[in-house]
Structure 1
Amino acid sequence: MVQFPADRLDASFAALSDATRRGVLERLGRADASISELADTFHMTLTGMKKHVGVLEQAGLVTTQKVGRVRTCTLGRSRLADETAWIEAYRGLWASRFDALDRIVEELKQRETFDGRRQTE
């Protein structure tokens, strides 16, 4: 199994575990936004939205830039490549296990038919 940076994966999956943070990423996928705009969109306080943005920023999913009094958020450089690779590795593992289970079930069905234990229709 491929090794992935655990602390980075932990930060990314923790950030993605919250519906509001996933919504923020979806919103920023359409256009950059200030923290105030995001707070309004999600009917939150500025403090609450700053905390969500901070979690996303620590995970590398969002970057912020302050110009004057306005902090603008954009999607970060992370393209979720490591996270996707980690998920795909496990998807492949589970797919091979289910394929093996399918083969066993098919063998058992054939044995039932061969042994005459299965009723003919």
Structure 2
Amino acid sequence: MDEVAGAIADQVRRQILVMLKDGRLSAGEIAERFSISRPAVSRHLRVLRESGLVRAELVGRQRLYTLDAERFTELAGWLAQFLEPSGWEHRFDALETEVYRTRRERRTNSAKTGSETDSKGETA
């Protein structure tokens, strides 16, 4: 997981991964999309290859890169613990629901009696 996290820490490598999610590309096609040198792109591709996030296939004289999204599984599982609602979030959601229900009841009651209430629920 640390190797994957380290590999995606760099913005260029993240951009390469986004490119590869739509299909395989040659090293040259990837390098054309950046203003950095081809050797620099090659170094980024090597890091991604060594982390297991991309696979390289030699086709003729071209090296074609494909994404291996399975390597994200462990990292995504670890990150998920931070995305799940905590107990407090559930309580705040329930409180918000209760506040809206109470306000709706007060409006309904004031419409039946013809009286207006202020923001504190007191009759004006």
The reply to whether TM is greater than 0.5 is: yes
Of 14, 24, 27 in structure 1, the residue corresponding to residue 16 of structure 2 is: 24
How far apart, CA to CA, are the structure 2 residues paired with 1:98 and 1:51?
45
How far apart, CA to CA, are the structure 2 residues paired with 1:73 and 1:65?
6
Unpaired segments ≥5 residues, structure 1: 1-8, 104-119
What is the alpha-carbon root mean square deviation over aligned residues? 2.5
Residue type of the partner of 2:51?
A
Greater relative contact order structure (CA < 8 Å, 6+ sep): 1
Q: Which has the larger radius of gyration?
A: 2
Give, in angstroms, the shift of residue 79 of structure 1.
5.0
TM-score (norm: length of structure 1):
0.66
What SS does the aligned partner of 1:47 have? helix
- In the TM superposition, what are the counterparts of 1:1-121 in structure 2 within 5 Å? 9-76=1-68, 78=70, 80-92=72-84, 95-96=85-86, 98-99=88-89, 102=92, 121=120
Residue type of the partner of 1:99?
E
Give, in angstroms, the shift of residue 69 of structure 1.
2.6
Residue type of the partner of 1:10?
D
Q: How many residues align?
A: 97
Q: Which runs of 4+ in 1 moved over 4 A?
A: 100-103
Residue type of the partner of 2:70?
S
TM-score (norm: length of structure 2):
0.64
